[in-house]
Amino acid sequence: MRRALAIQADIQTLHSLIAEAAMAVRGYLLTGRDDFLNPYRHAQQALPATLDSLRRHVRDPVVMASLRHIDELWQRKQESLEELRIEGRSLPPADLQAHLIGSKGVLDELRTEIQITYARETELVREYSAAARRAFLRNLWVDFVTSALVLASGLGAFLLLFSGVVQRVKLLVVNAERLSRGEALETLPNGRDELGLLAERLQNASVLLARRADEARAASLAKTQFLSRTSHELRTPLNAILGFAQLLETDLRGSPHSPQLEHILVAGRHLLTLIDEVLDIARIESGDLKLSLAPQSLHELAQEATDLVTPFAQRQGIVLHLVPPFADVAALADRQRLRQVLINLLSNAIKYNRPGGEVFLGVRLESDQVWISIRDTGIGIRPELLPRLFAPFERLDAEHAGVEGTGLGLAVSRQLMRCMGGDIEVQSTPGVGSVFSLRLARARRAADAPPAATSAAPATNTSQPNDMRPVLVIEDNASNLALMQALIARRPQWRMVAARDGEAGLREARAEPPALILLDLNLSGRSGESVLAELRADPAFRETPVVVVSADALPETIERLRAAGANDYLTKPLEVARFLALLDRIAA
């Protein structure tokens, strides 16, 4: 039992070291910072010792075979990680993509083999416990007969011992099962015999697992923080690029420079989509994706999704059809994520269609399930390519067909559907078209659609109609301030007051109460969140509209800031039309 528990602890350590090594190299590829490789170097040093410990303790031939396979897979994974560390940042995107997919496959094999090994050891622990109990009961029977024949007075003492030991063995078995499930152990009587030592070992193993769980939670939190910082750092420069490009598009519409501006906007939005999809994949893999499952009206979602992609369809010459019936059909889903999946699949159906083609969006009921189908009349998908359809960064023949994309949309969509308890299925006939079907649990009634975000009414303004209203912009990035200045200049009823940090913003607000405050979150010195808290605590600013403008696009951040008192939350890169509409709405 002690050896089996030691083997289980080593398997947990092995799994943690391999996961930390892979995460470290991925972080290094994203950031280029050498300190991200510290967990990888630690794993290189610690893994051989852990594998040696397992070889010394393992007796079971099945586990030994799995261990040899794990050793081989780790060598392959280590070689792959080392190549990524040395050459990954200089590889062309296509080669890096192929290398990452191959390395992910090896990591999946490792995880599967480790799970098989751990499950086998758990089975052995049960067998050892059962064998010990059977042997103990056999010995008890012999002792009982002997004691009954030798001395009747010893019977009472023997029965007392019998009852106590069996109870302890049962508790040990229960604790072994609870340990395998990661639950807290029941308290056992103190003892220095074998049972007492076994109970002590189980308790130590429980403490070890709890510590590993805490470490895993800490690693997950660090990854979430890293994703937030990465999103902010990538979105901040894109804000200036796309913001000024949208202004130039408006000013130079119809000029010879319009096609070049269109290329800038398409490339910038393509990069933004890639950032969002990579962050979604990372959140799903780490278990950080938060969903709010509730009954959703499919008619409303379908109408909303088709309205959003209709301009794109018109440019491509594609006709969209909503196939009834949609009325009163509801599914259990997260509204935002289901809309994201629908928009992605509708966009694909438009992109991969033929000129003058059609796209049909329909729904059907099947027992307690709802199927949403998106059918196109496009080029279709060859049967041999279907197994690769949902692989990350896999674009099949799209690159040769000249269709833009990231290769992540379908991978993210399938993962989102599975997180909502559903899935995606596909049927395709080359030259005829494809049908993507979304499966979800049926809901009995649709939830009310969440109210659209609205800004609070502006503070009472006693100035004359022609006076310019002050809008306070608290932002520490020079490019973003320049963009704000250019945008606000297009609305003559507003004038901009700038502050480069939180303290300066509070001073400006108190010196001249603004009609609107635009607040960045990641400010130098004092954070934007603490500035918002102080503004809402001051009676003079409780009714002043405060709109957060941040590159942090994580849903949990947006929800937290709205709950803290923000009237609206705009993510960078800014949508110029939405920003100007916000100014007009507050000025009205």
Per-position DSSP letters for 318-381, written without gaps between them: -EEEEPSP-TT-EEEE-HHHHHHHHHHHHHHHHHTSPTT-EEEEEEEEETTEEEEEEEE-S---
How many of the other CB atoms lie within 10 Å of CB of 334? 20
Please, what sign has the CA dihedral across residues 373, 377, 379, 384? positive
C-alpha closest to that of 475 among 495, 491, 496: 496
Cβ(518)–Cβ(474) under 8 Å? Answer: yes
- DSSP structure class, residue 516: E
The pLDDT, as a whole number, for residue 406 is 55
C-alpha closest to that of 361 among 313, 306, 429: 306
The pLDDT, as a whole number, for residue 154 is 63
Instruction: Output b/e per residue, 486-505; b: 16+ Cβ within 10 A.
Output: ebbeebebbebbbbbbbebb
Question: How do 469-474 and 494-499 pair as beta strands?
Answer: parallel
How many of the other CB atoms lie within 10 Å of CB of 35? 10
The ranges of the chain with pLDDT < 70 are: 151-169, 172, 175, 179-200, 202-203, 206-207, 210, 213, 217, 220-221, 223-225, 227-232, 270, 274, 278-279, 281-288, 325-327, 392-407, 445-467
CA gap 79, 296 in Å, rounded: 48
The pLDDT, as a whole number, for residue 457 is 36
CA gap 190, 196 in Å, rounded: 6
C-alpha closest to that of 341 among 401, 275, 418: 418
- DSSP structure class, residue 541: G
The pLDDT, as a whole number, for residue 548 is 94
pTM: 0.45
Long-range contacts, stretch 462-470, CB < 8 angstroms, 24+ apart? 468/492, 468/493, 468/494, 468/495, 469/493, 469/494, 469/495, 469/514, 469/515, 469/516, 469/587, 470/494, 470/495, 470/496, 470/497, 470/512, 470/513, 470/514, 470/515
What angle separates helix 194-251 from helix 478-488, to the nearest 10 degrees?
50
The pLDDT, as a whole number, for residue 283 is 67
CA gap 561, 559 in Å, rounded: 6
Query: pLDDT (tens digit, 9 = 90+) per residue, 373-405?
Result: 999 999 888 888 888 888 766 656 554 454 555
The pLDDT, as a whole number, for residue 155 is 66
CA gap 525, 500 in Å, rounded: 10
Distance set, CA 202 to CA 81, 130, 134, 206, 262 (Å): 35, 16, 20, 6, 65
C-alpha closest to that of 424 among 340, 322, 326: 340
Q: Residues near 129 by Cβ (< 8 Å), separated by ≥ 6?
A: 1, 169, 172, 173, 176
CA gap 511, 45 in Å, rounded: 60
- Residue 293, H or E segment: none
Residue type, 410: L
* Ordered alpha helix ranges (H), 397-539: 398-401, 409-419, 478-488, 502-511, 528-537
How many of the other CB atoms lie within 10 Å of CB of 561? 21
Bridge partners of 571? Answer: 550
Question: How do 433-443 and 369-376 pair as beta strands?
Answer: antiparallel
Expressed in percent and rounded to 5, the helix, strand and coil fractions of the chain are 65, 10, 25
Residue 296, both tokens: 């959703």
CA gap 97, 103 in Å, rounded: 10
Query: pLDDT (tens digit, 9 = 90+) per residue, 266-294?
Result: 777 767 776 777 667 666 666 667 778 88
Residue type, 110: L
549 three-class SS? strand
573 three-class SS? coil
CA gap 473, 57 in Å, rounded: 65
C-alpha radius of gyration, the chain, whole number: 31
Q: Residues near 387 by Cβ (< 8 Å), separated by ≥ 6?
A: none
Cβ(496)–Cβ(504) under 8 Å? Answer: no
